């Protein structure tokens, strides 16, 4: 059954159509990639799904429930996590604190009980320990020990991307939206990330929706690919199907990426 | 005279520190300079005055009610005005706070008139303790110092250790990301304004005790608080409090040894000097984003 | 030819009619006279707005007694918030749209200064501005009559009293750093100079200042045994509190702007006790017949107002105007009114004696001194201590 379903979604900004009747459905436990030239509407699609934009038409269903029109924090609470193209971290906090903020949704204790967490054996204290354990697991999983107590604003770009991924994982989402996860990474980092994405799918069972320009990565990890051009879906299917689609080749013609596809 | 100037400076500095704390709380979460801060506090002081003088309630009851009012007022202003801003940017929001300032001022003038009123307070400013060498400090000064330090520590703990406090910090650094972490940014902002308003109200009660209560009560303290906050780096709670003390002492020494006439200029000079020389303030851990 | 003659008769009679219209004075009919005033009812100076409301009660009292020479007063009060730009708009509106005859009182030096050129240009009668600035009467303007005693004169009287009667040797002057405060400073320095003395300390305070510790320490260090203050009520309260805390106890003296003794006693939490201050009008509890009559009028026409000096000053500042209108009789043209005003010699209502002449536009040159003493009254079974004025002198002037 589809865990995330997008039906006939359109988004118009003052006369400019950023998304034009886009439909897509994500099978639980799969990896889907959205590709397309710059300005194709990929990030707009993400923003519509996560509630930052209200789509003009169509609907988004998550686990059968309609979520478009809901507030971002509610959508996040349902189990939908995301990373950003340009990294949106809390730059004046440490890696650890950033990841702990990912646990925010799962923290039960309010202001009063939370302020007494240092009382041993209290519910708040037990909760705090559980959250910290979860975060440490993620730090180990993504190999972030070296960055654990450093302000993320001072970390190398590639590491920041990994921290953002870690923070999204800390939310324990069922579906994770990744916006260009390897952009700006070196070869070694890309390699690591590719392995982690596979692990996230296989071991954690998280469904992934990925925007990416790196065709090698896309072809390697995706179960399904959707191609957007000027907001319009022009192709959808298995990697090998999309790779040879004439519309796709046309859209990418002259683009650097077209060479990689070809 | 030196000892007394320094002692008086620290005492008045504590009131600046409280106003600075109030401003820093809002700045920390939204980077908005709240120019309505002083008049929000002034209005709360009037509510306390009304409870005390008009309804004859006790001090504990009156101050509790007034602080509750302060919290509600702050939360309401955020909810009703700042959140309504279309495509908000920091400058636009600051201008909204200026508008609020005028509204609150008008409201207080209309409701209570501009007659100076005496603000009753359980602690006296005339009961003094000798510190030796003829230097005195009043009981009210000690209370003010205590309140400023206690609030600073409480707020520090709050931001450091509570879920809501951390969410506030996160909201300031990246609202968008905070939303996606499941943080209810709107609520956080309301809470921020409420808390800030309460701290400001504490300052107003203490200031109104030595001053007289009228709608202009908080105009100068707000300016001094802002100056102290700039000195402390705008985002640091400890910096704001130390900034208040330093400003108070520097002002008094300037007034005592250089010129009483130009004493009022010191706070402005501090703002300009700090913004030119060390905009991150004297105490904030400076951090430069790497691109 | 006959036609031309008729035409000439027509033109002539029209011209006559025109002349008759011109002789009619704006804002005055046989049964009414329109008078306007501006005064801050909101904003930082609203404390003084009571003056404008006092005038309203005074005019109501006069109307209830049948008006002046059969004319009832129509009073127009506008709130200018002590903002000179708004005052200008108000003066124009009142004169050109409401068609008023003249202006009574008007609170504040800067609002008054802003509209003075307009008033001079249009030859509008204006009497009794509620400020002791010398700009109204010096140089004299035809239709403008000042009442309030000048700040320098008052400061001279206070200084002389401190030295001669109280035997003080070292006088400090604590003043607001603007026209108002400096007006007082000039007078004190002048009086000291006459005796070959100087101020022990002159300490200015900015309007926005709230911390006065260094100001007090400066006066204390100078060893001043008497401090005369020319400030706003707010600063008076803060400086007394700070001095009490720092153990500084000189003889305090204050300007007549701080003569609302009940209010000052309250906002200084009793520290006003012993203060010697100038007065431009009778004390609030005065038993003078006019004061008793006005107090009754207040209770009747403005029962919610406090019987404070700023309120009944609104009566006092316009007393000479009402007298002038009475003496001018039927013809209220500016020329005739000015002539009537110039006939006032030692005219006295609830303020000092008022004299005008062809060259003199400063009505009062005298103040009297009073001292604040505590008194008690019972309100709902509870004993309340308040401050009241005790008269120390008769009306005194500068020789």
For residue B12, the chain C residues in CB contact (below 8 A) are: 210-211, 213
For chain B, state the CA radius of gyration. Answer: 19
Rounded Cα distance between C237 and C271, Å, is 8
Structure tokens at A3: 């865990």
**What's the rounded mean pLDDT across residues C132-159?**
92
Residue C145 has a CB neighbour count (10 Å cut-off) of 28
Cβ–Cβ below 8 Å for C204 and B260? yes
B168 touches chain A (CB under 8 A): no
Left, alpha or beta for A38 (phi > 0: left; psi -120 to 50: alpha)? Answer: beta
Expressed in angstroms, the distance from the first to the final Cα of chain B is 53
Compare all CA atoms of chain C with the CA of B251 and give the residue at the minimum distance.
Answer: C214
Residue showing tokens 């107002």: C305
Is residue B86 included in any domain, yes or no? yes
Rounded Cα distance between C307 and C302, Å, is 10
Is residue C53 within 8 A of residue C80, CB to CB? The reply is no
List, for chain B, all residue ranges whose pLDDT scores fall below the cut of 50: 286-291
Provide the residue count of chain B. Answer: 291
Compare all CA atoms of chain B with the CA of A92 and give the residue at the minimum distance.
Answer: B173
pLDDT of residue A124: 67
Cβ–Cβ below 8 Å for B251 and C221? no
The pLDDT tens digits of the residues spanning C156-170 come to 999 999 999 999 999
Cβ–Cβ below 8 Å for C47 and B12? no
Rounded Cα distance between C18 and C15, Å, is 5
B220 touches chain C (CB under 8 A): yes
In this complex, which of B158, B174, B179 lies closest to A89 when CB atoms are compared?
Answer: B174
**Closest Cα of chain B to A254: distance in Å?**
30
Nearest C-alpha neighbor of B235 from the set B206, B291, B192: B192
Asked whether the predicted pLDDT for residue C268 surpasses 60, the reply is yes
Asked whether the predicted pLDDT for residue C16 surpasses 60, the reply is no
Rounded Cα distance between B207 and B201, Å, is 10
Is residue B230 within 8 A of residue B274, CB to CB? The reply is yes
Cβ–Cβ below 8 Å for C263 and B8? no
Q: What is the DSSP letter of B133?
A: T
Q: What is the DSSP letter of A146?
A: G
C234 touches chain B (CB under 8 A): yes
Asked whether the predicted pLDDT for residue C249 surpasses 60, the reply is yes
pLDDT of residue C9: 66
Structure tokens at C324: 């002038």
Is residue B71 included in any domain, yes or no? yes
Rounded Cα distance between B195 and C249, Å, is 41
For chain A, state the CA radius of gyration. Answer: 19
**Cα A42–chain centre separation:** 12
B135 touches chain C (CB under 8 A): no
List, for chain A, all residue ranges whose pLDDT scores fall below the cut of 70: 1, 108-124, 252-262
Compare all CA atoms of chain A with the CA of B174 and give the residue at the minimum distance.
Answer: A90
The pLDDT tens digits of the residues spanning C184-218 come to 999 999 999 999 999 999 999 988 888 899 999 99
pLDDT of residue C365: 92
Can chain C be said to touch chain A, i.e. do they have 3 or more Cβ pairs within 8 angstroms? no
Q: Which long-range contacts (CB under 8 A, 24 or more apart) does C89-96 make?
A: C90/C36, C90/C38, C91/C36, C91/C38, C91/C115, C91/C118, C91/C119, C92/C118, C94/C36, C95/C36, C95/C122, C95/C124
Asked whether the predicted pLDDT for residue C18 surpasses 60, the reply is no
Is residue B228 within 8 A of residue B243, CB to CB? The reply is yes
Q: What is the DSSP letter of B287?
A: -
- For A56, phi then psi, to 5°, come to -70, -40
pLDDT of residue C20: 46
Alpha-carbon torsion angle C329, C335, C337, C343, nearest 10: -100
Is residue B132 included in any domain, yes or no? yes
Residue C140 has a CB neighbour count (10 Å cut-off) of 16
Cβ–Cβ below 8 Å for B174 and A110? no
Cα B162 to Cα B158, B217, C58: the distances in Å are 5, 34, 63
Mutate to test the interface with B, among A54, A104, A157 (most CBs of B within 10 A): A104
Domain ranges of chain A: 2-261
pLDDT of residue B271: 86
C263 touches chain B (CB under 8 A): yes
Is residue B275 included in any domain, yes or no? no
The pLDDT tens digits of the residues spanning A187-245 come to 888 999 999 998 998 888 899 999 988 888 888 889 999 988 888 888 888 888 888 78
Compare all CA atoms of chain A with the CA of B160 and give the residue at the minimum distance.
Answer: A115
- For C142, phi then psi, to 5°, come to -50, -55
Cβ–Cβ below 8 Å for C217 and B1? yes
Cα angle C359-C364-C366, degrees, rounded to a multiple of 5: 130
Touching subunits of C (3+ CB pairs, under 8 Å) are B
Rounded Cα distance between C90 and A102, Å, is 61
ipTM above 0.95, yes or no: no
Please tell me chain C's helix, strand, coil percentages from 3-state DSSP, rounded to the nearest 5.
Answer: 45, 20, 35
Can chain A be said to touch chain B, i.e. do they have 3 or more Cβ pairs within 8 angstroms? yes
Cβ–Cβ below 8 Å for B158 and A81? no
Mutate to test the interface with B, among C210, C262, C387 (most CBs of B within 10 A): C210
Instruction: Specify the number of domains making up chain B.
Output: 1
Cα angle A206-A211-A212, degrees, rounded to a multiple of 5: 115
Structure tokens at A29: 């436990």
B286 touches chain A (CB under 8 A): no
Q: Mind listing the domains of chain C with CATH numbers? A: 32-148+287-364 (3.40.50.2300), 151-279+368-397 (3.40.50.2300)
Asked whether the predicted pLDDT for residue C21 surpasses 70, the reply is no
C382 touches chain B (CB under 8 A): no
List of residues 6+ apart from C188 with CB closer than 8 A: C155, C156, C158, C159, C171, C173, C199, C228
Mapped onto helix, strand or coil, the DSSP state of residue C205 is strand
Is residue C44 within 8 A of residue B114, CB to CB? The reply is yes
Cβ–Cβ below 8 Å for B182 and A76? yes
The pLDDT tens digits of the residues spanning C170-180 come to 999 999 988 88
Residue showing tokens 């390699």: A191
Q: For residue A78, is the peptide bond before it cis, meaning its omega torsion is within 30 degrees of 0?
A: no
Superfamily of domain A2-261: P-loop containing nucleotide triphosphate hydrolases (3.40.50.300)
**Cα B43–chain centre separation:** 14
pLDDT of residue B90: 83
**Closest Cα of chain A to B78: distance in Å?**
19
**Closest Cα of chain A to B160: distance in Å?**
10
Compare all CA atoms of chain B with the CA of A78 and give the residue at the minimum distance.
Answer: B182
pLDDT of residue C92: 94
Asked whether the predicted pLDDT for residue C43 surpasses 80, the reply is no
Nearest C-alpha neighbor of A41 from the set A237, A197, A233, A261: A233
Rounded Cα distance between C278 and C257, Å, is 8
The pLDDT tens digits of the residues spanning C85-98 come to 899 999 999 999 99
Is residue B33 included in any domain, yes or no? yes
Nearest C-alpha neighbor of C152 from the set C164, C137, C142, C141: C137
Nearest C-alpha neighbor of C107 from the set C124, C85, C125, C83: C83
The answer to which of A26-30, C1-5, C268-272 has the lowest mean pLDDT is C1-5
Compare all CA atoms of chain A with the CA of B156 and give the residue at the minimum distance.
Answer: A115
Give the percent of chain C with pLDDT over 90: 72
Mean pLDDT taken over chain C: 90
Is residue B171 included in any domain, yes or no? yes
Tell me which residue range forms the domain holding B157: 2-218
Rounded Cα distance between A23 and A9, Å, is 6
List of residues 6+ apart from B153 with CB closer than 8 A: none
Cβ–Cβ below 8 Å for B287 and A151? yes
pLDDT of residue A122: 64
Cβ–Cβ below 8 Å for C234 and B216? yes
pLDDT of residue B128: 84
**Closest Cα of chain B to C218: distance in Å?**
7
B252 touches chain C (CB under 8 A): yes
Mutate to test the interface with B, among C206, C213, C220 (most CBs of B within 10 A): C213
Is residue B136 included in any domain, yes or no? yes
pLDDT of residue C22: 45
Asked whether the predicted pLDDT for residue C220 surpasses 50, the reply is yes
pLDDT of residue C200: 95
Is residue C133 within 8 A of residue C183, CB to CB? The reply is yes
pLDDT of residue A175: 93
């Amino acid at each position: 059954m589809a865990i995330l379903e997008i039906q006939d979604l359109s988004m118009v900004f003052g006369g400019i159509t950023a998304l034009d009747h886009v439909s897509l459905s994500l099978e639980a436990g799969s990896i889907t990639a959205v590709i397309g030239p710059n300005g194709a509407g990929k990030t707009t699609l993400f923003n519509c799904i996560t509630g930052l934009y209200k789509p003009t038409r169509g609907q988004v269903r998550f686990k059968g429930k309609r979520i478009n029109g809901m507030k971002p924090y509610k959508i996040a609470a349902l189990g939908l996590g995301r990373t950003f193209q340009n990294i949106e971290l809390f730059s004046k906090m440490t890696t650890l604190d950033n990841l702990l903020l990912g646990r925010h949704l799962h923290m039960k204790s309010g202001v009063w009980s939370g302020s007494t967490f240092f009382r041993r054996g209290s519910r708040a204290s037990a909760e705090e320990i559980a959250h910290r354990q979860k975060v440490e697991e993620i730090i180990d999983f993504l190999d972030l020990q070296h960055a654990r107590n450093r302000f993320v604003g001072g970390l190398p770009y590639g590491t920041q991307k990994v921290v953002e991924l870690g923070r999204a994982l800390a939310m324990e989402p069922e579906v994770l939206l990744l916006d260009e996860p390897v952009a700006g990474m070196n070869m070694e980092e890309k390699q690591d990330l590719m392995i982690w994405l596979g692990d996230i799918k296989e071991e954690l069972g998280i469904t992934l929706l990925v925007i990416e320009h790196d065709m090698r990565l896309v072809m390697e990890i995706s179960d399904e690919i959707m191609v957007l051009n000027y907001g319009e879906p022009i192709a959808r299917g298995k990697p090998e199907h999309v790779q040879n689609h004439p519309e796709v080749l046309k859209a990418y013609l002259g683009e650097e990426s077209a060479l990689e596809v070809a | 005279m030196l000892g007394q100037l320094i002692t008086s400076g620290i005492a008045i500095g504590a009131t600046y520190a409280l106003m600075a704390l109030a401003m820093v709380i809002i700045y920390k979460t939204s980077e908005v300079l709240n120019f309505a801060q002083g008049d929000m506090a002034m209005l709360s002081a009037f509510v306390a005055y009304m409870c005390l003088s008009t309804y004859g309630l006790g001090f504990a009851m009156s101050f509790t009610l007034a602080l509750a009012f302060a919290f509600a007022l702050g939360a309401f202003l955020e909810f009703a005005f700042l959140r309504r801003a279309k495509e908000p940017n920091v400058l636009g929001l600051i201008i909204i706070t200026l508008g609020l300032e005028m509204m609150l001022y008008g409201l207080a003038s209309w409701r209570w008139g501009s007659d100076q009123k005496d603000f009753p307070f359980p602690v006296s400013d005339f009961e003094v303790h000798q510190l030796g060498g003829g230097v005195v400090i009043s009981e009210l000064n000690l209370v003010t110092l205590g309140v400023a330090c206690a609030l600073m520590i409480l707020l520090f703990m709050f931001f450091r250790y509570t879920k809501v406090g951390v969410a506030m910090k996160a909201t300031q650094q990246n609202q968008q990301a905070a939303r996606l972490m499941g943080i209810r940014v709107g609520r956080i902002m309301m809470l921020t304004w409420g808390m800030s308003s309460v701290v400001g109200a504490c300052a107003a009660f203490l200031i109104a005790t030595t001053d007289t209560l009228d709608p202009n009560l908080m105009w100068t303290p707000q300016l001094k608080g802002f100056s102290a906050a700039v000195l402390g780096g705008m985002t640091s709670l400890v910096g704001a409090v130390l900034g208040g003390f330093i400003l108070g002492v520097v002002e008094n020494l300037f007034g005592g040894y250089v010129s009483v006439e130009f004493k009022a200029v010191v706070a402005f000079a501090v703002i300009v000097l700090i913004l030119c020389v060390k905009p991150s303030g004297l105490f904030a851990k400076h951090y430069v984003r790497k691109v | 030819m006959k036609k031309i003659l008729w035409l000439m008769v027509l033109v002539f009679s029209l011209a006559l009619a025109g002349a008759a219209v011109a002789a009619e004075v704006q804002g005055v009919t046989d049964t009414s006279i329109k008078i306007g005033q501006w005064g801050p009812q909101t904003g930082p100076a609203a404390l003084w707005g009571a003056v404008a409301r006092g005038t309203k009660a005074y005019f109501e009292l006069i109307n209830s007694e049948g008006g002046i020479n059969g004319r009832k007063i129509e009073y127009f009060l506008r709130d200018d918030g002590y903002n000179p730009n708004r005052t200008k708009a108000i003066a124009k509106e009142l004169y050109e749209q409401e068609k008023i005859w003249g202006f009574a009182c008007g609170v504040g030096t800067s609002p008054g200064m802003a509209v003075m050129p307009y008033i001079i240009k249009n030859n509008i009668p204006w009497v009794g501005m509620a400020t002791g600035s010398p700009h109204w009467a010096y140089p004299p303007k035809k239709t403008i009559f000042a009442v309030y005693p000048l700040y320098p004169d008052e400061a001279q009287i206070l200084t002389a009293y401190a030295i001669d009667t109280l035997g003080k040797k070292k006088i400090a002057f604590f003043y607001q750093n603007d026209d108002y405060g400096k007006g007082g400073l000039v007078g004190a320095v002048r009086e000291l100079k006459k005796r070959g003395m100087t101020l022990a300390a002159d300490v200015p305070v900015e309007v926005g200042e709230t911390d006065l510790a260094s100001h007090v320490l400066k006066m204390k260090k100078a060893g001043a045994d008497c401090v005369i203050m020319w400030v706003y009520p707010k600063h008076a309260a803060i400086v007394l509190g700070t001095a009490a805390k720092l153990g500084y106890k000189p003889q305090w003296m204050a300007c007549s702007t701080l003569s609302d003794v009940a209010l000052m006693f309250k906002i200084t939490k009793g520290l006003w006790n012993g203060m010697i201050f100038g007065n431009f009008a009778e004390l609030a509890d005065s038993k003078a017949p006019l004061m008793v009559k006005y107090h009754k009028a207040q209770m009747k026409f403005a029962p919610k107002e406090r019987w404070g000096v700023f309120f009944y000053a609104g009566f006092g500042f316009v007393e000479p105007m009402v007298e002038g209108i009475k003496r001018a009789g039927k013809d209220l043209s500016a020329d005739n009114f000015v002539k009537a005003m110039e006939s006032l010699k030692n005219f006295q209502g609830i303020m000092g004696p008022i004299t005008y002449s062809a060259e003199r536009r400063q009505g009062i040159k005298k103040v009297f001194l009073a001292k604040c003493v505590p008194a008690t009254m019972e309100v709902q079974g509870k004993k309340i201590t308040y401050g009241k004025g005790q008269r120390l002198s008769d009306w005194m002037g500068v020789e």
